[in-house]
Structure 1
Amino acid sequence: MRSLPPFDALVAFDTTLRHRSMTLAAAELGITQSAISHRLRRLESFIGAPLLSRTSAGLYATPTGAALAAGLADLLDGLADLRARCRVASAPAGLRVGVGAALADNWLVRRLPGFAQTYPAIAVELSIVETAAQAGAPDVDVQVLWLPAATARAASTQRLLFQEQVFPVCHPGLLPDGPLVDPAGLARLPLLHKGPAGRPGGAEWSWSAWFERLGIAGPPPAGLRFGTVGTAIAAALQGAGVVLARSLLVHDALAEGRLVRVLPESWDMASSKAHLVRWPGALTGDPRVRQFVTWLTAEADRTVAS
C-alpha cells in the first residue's frame, strides 16, 4: 500500500509558500490560520523534517521544503489535467467558466450575450471563483484569474488578458464640476476603503499612499470599509463616496456617466496584479476553450483600446 501525504496539507503548503504567509494562505483557501498551521504540522510529521522557516520577510522553504515544492507544482497541475481528461471523455456542449465576482458583475456578464450570439452552440455556465478551493472545483473548464503581474505571463495553458490601472472614481453628483484641479480636495470628500484596515493589498489600494504621492497633509479621513472592491464600487455608484477602482471594473460605468474620475489620468497607478485566462492542458485542443479564449482576449483588447 502506498504511503501518501495528506492532500489538504500539500495544498496548504503550496499556498503558504506562494504567499510566504499563513495568514494570506488562509484567506485564499477560505479557512482559518490555525487550520493552515495544523495542516503544515501534519505534513512536516509525514515528511519527517521542517518545511518552512520564518524570516523578517516572511516564510521561506527549508532545503527539505524546497525539494518538496520542486515537484509539487507539477503534481497539482497533473491532477488538474487528470480532471480535465475525464471531462473531455464526455465533454458537453457547454463551457464552465470560473471568474471573480467583481469582474463578472462589472464587465463580463455585460458581454456574454455577444459570445452567445457568435457561438450559439456553446452554452456558458458562469461560476464565481474567489478562493483557491473554489478554483479547484471539478466543474470549471476555464478560469479568469487575477494574479501578481510578475506571475501573469503567457504560457501554453494561459493567456494574459490585461493589467489594469487604479484610480479614484465617484458618483457624478459628488463632483458636479468634473475632476479635481487641486488634488487636496480629496480630503474634503467621503472616502470608501477596501479590505481590512492596515492590509489594503498593495500601495495602489492605500488611501495613505495616495495622499502621500498627491502631497496631501494629514491622514485620510475614515470612511466606510468594504471587504471587496466590487461592493465598494457598488457603494460608489450609489453616491456613498470616492473609491479606488480598477480600470476594467469601472470602464462601462465611466463610459455611461454613472461614475466619473476624481483626478486626471496622469495620476493613475498601475495595478500590482493582472488578469489572465487559464485552462487545463488536457483542454488545450478543445474547440470550446479555443473559441472562448479567442473571444475573451478580443473583448479585453477592445476594452483597453476604448
Structure 2
Amino acid sequence: MRLPPFDALIAFDAVLRHGGMTRAAAELGVTQSAISHRVRRLEAFMGAPLLRRHAGGLTPTPAGEALAEGLAGALAEMAGLRARCLAAVGPSRLRLGVGAALAHNWLVRRLPDFAARSPSLSIELVIVENEAPELVSDLDLRILWVPAAELRATTTQRPLFQERVFPVCHPSLLPAGHVPGDPSVLVDLPLLHKGPAGRATSAEWSWAAWLERYRLPAKPKESFRFASIGPAIAAALEGAGVVLARSMLVHDALADGRLVRILPPEEDLASSKAHVVRWPGALRSDERVRSLASWLLEQAELTVRGDTIAGRQAALSSP
C-alpha cells in the first residue's frame, strides 16, 4: 500500500487554514519554499492540482476540496491515538498546552500548588498558541482562547474565564499629581499597540476606540507595536508605555503593584474571546485529567473572585 507523504499532507492542511504559504510556513517552522515543495510533491502523488492561486491567496481546487474533506477526519483520528493509549494504561505525566502569555503571567505561579496537592502526577507545560489546535496530537489537556460564544461546558471542555480589557502601566509612568481614574493622562503617555497595523480589531483592543470613548484627541503616531499581548505586557512592566491588557494576564502584576490601572474597574470592556480547558474524548473519564481540569477551574474562580473583591475595594476608596 502506497501512502501519501505525511509532511506534505500537514503542509497542505496548514495552507488551507491560513489561505497562504507564508503563515503556514511560520506555523510549521519551515521556509515558504519548503511548504511550496511539499504541496507540489503532494500534487504529484495525487495526480491533480490541489490549490488555485488568486489575488486573495490560495483556495482548493475540486480535487483539493475532496482531499481536505478526507484529511480532516484522518487528522482528527490520529490526534486521538495518544489519548487512547493513555486511557488504557493511565498517565503519570500530563501534557498541558497553553499560550505563552497566559502561562508566563498567570499559570506558572500557580503550578507549585498543584504539585503539592498531586505529588504523584507530573505536568509538562507545552507552549502552543491557538493555531491548528486539532493538530496538537500529543496534548492531554489544552487551554484555548476561543470566541465567547464557545464558553460552555461539554463532555470534553469546561469554561475557565471571560476576561476584561483595560489600560495599565508601570506606576513610575504616571505624572505627579495624577488623579486615579482620570483618562486624560492617556494623551501624554506612550501607548503600546497589539497586533499588525491596519488589521481590523474588536473595540476593546483599539486605542482609537478608547480615546474616542473619552473624547480624547487621537495620537499622531504609534509608540510601539507588538505582534502579541505577551511582549506588550512585558514592555509595560518595564515602563515603556500603557497597554490594553486582559484581566488574567495582569492580575498578579496589579496585586504586586508592578502595574497600576489607569481607569476604575467599572470602565473595563468585556473581551470578545474567552478561555476554556479542553481534552480528548478518549480521556473524558480519566481521573488524572479530571483532577487537573478541576484544579484549573478552581484557580480561575479564585482569580476572578480576587479581581471582584479588588474592584469593590477600589470603588469604596475612590473619592
Stretches of structure 1 that go unaligned for 5 or more consecutive residues are none
Equivalent position amino acid for 2:102 in 1 = L
Query: After superposition, what is the alpha-carbon deviation per residue over 1:119-165, rounded to whole angstroms, capped at 9, x for unaligned?
Result: 23222222322475898567532222224445666443333322322
SS of the equivalent of 1:31 reads coil
Aligned AA (2:228)? T
Match of 2:288 in 1: 288
Give the number of equivalent residue pairs.
304
Alpha-carbon separation, structure 2, partners of 1:50 and 1:40? 9
CA distance in 1, matches of 2:59, 2:152: 23
Q: Tell me the amino acid that sits aligned with residue 105 of structure 1.
A: H
Mapped to 1, the partners of 2:162 and 2:35 lie a distance apart of 31
| Residues 110-125 of structure 1 aligned to structure 2 (within 5 Å) | 110-125=109-124
Tell me what 1:173 maps to: 172
Q: Deviations over 1:168-218 (max 9, x none)?
A: 11112223635442x343131012233444458665444344444544434
One-letter code aligned to 1:104: A
Contact 2:168/2:260, CA 8 A, preserved across alignment: yes
Note the alpha carbon deviations across 1:97-140, whole angstroms, 9 max, x for none: 22222111111122222222322322222232247589856753
TM-score (ref. length: structure 2): 0.78
CA distance in 1, matches of 2:13, 2:29: 15
Which range moved further: 236-245 or 37-46?
A: 37-46
Which whole-Å CA distance do the structure 2 matches of 1:209 and 1:59 have between them?
A: 33
Contact 2:192 2:241 in 1 (8 A): yes
Q: Name the Cα RMSD after superposition.
A: 3.3
Report how far residue 293 of structure 1 moved.
0.8
Q: Secondary structure at the match of 2:300?
A: helix
* Residue 157 (1) aligns with residue 156 (2): yes
Deviations 1:238-257 (A, max 9, x none): 22211121111011222333
SS at match of 1:192: strand
* 1:231 equivalent in structure 2: 231
Distance of 1:186 and 1:220 partners within structure 2: 13
Q: Decide whether aligned partners of structure 1 residues 179 and 57 sit closer, same or farther in structure 2, where only a CA change above 3 A counts.
A: farther
CA drift of 1:48 comes to 4.1
TM-score (norm 1): 0.81
Give the secondary structure class of the aligned counterpart of 1:189: coil
Which stretch shifts more, 230-239 or 156-165?
156-165
Whole-angstrom CA distance in 2 between matches of 1:237 and 1:126: 24
CA displacement 1:33-67 (0-9 Å, x = unmatched): 44444434443444444545567776554444443
Tell me which residue corresponds to 1:274. 274
- Residues 138/75 of structure 1: CA separation in 2 closer, same or farther (3 Å cut): closer
Could you tell me the percent identity over the aligned residues?
63
Change (3 A) 1:213 1:139: same
2:311 aligns to what? none
Identify if the C-alpha distance between structure 1 residues 10 and 237 changes in structure 2 by more than 3 Å, giving closer, same or farther.
same
Per the TM alignment, residue 236 of structure 1 is displaced from its structure 2 partner at its CA by: 1.3
Could you say what secondary structure the match of 1:293 adopts?
helix
Contact 1:49 1:64 (C-alpha < 8 Å) held by counterparts: yes
Structure 1 residue aligned with 2:249 = 249
Moved more, 211-220 or 133-142: 133-142
Match of residue 26 from structure 1: 25
Q: 1:29 and 1:154, CA in 2 relative to 1: closer, same or farther beyond 3 A?
A: farther
Separation in structure 2 between the aligned mates of residue 11 and residue 161 of structure 1, nearest angstrom: 30
Q: Could you tell me how far apart the structure 2 residues matched to 1:148 and 1:34 are?
A: 33
Q: Give me the whole-angstrom Cα distance separating, in 1, the residues matched to 2:39 and 2:165.
A: 36
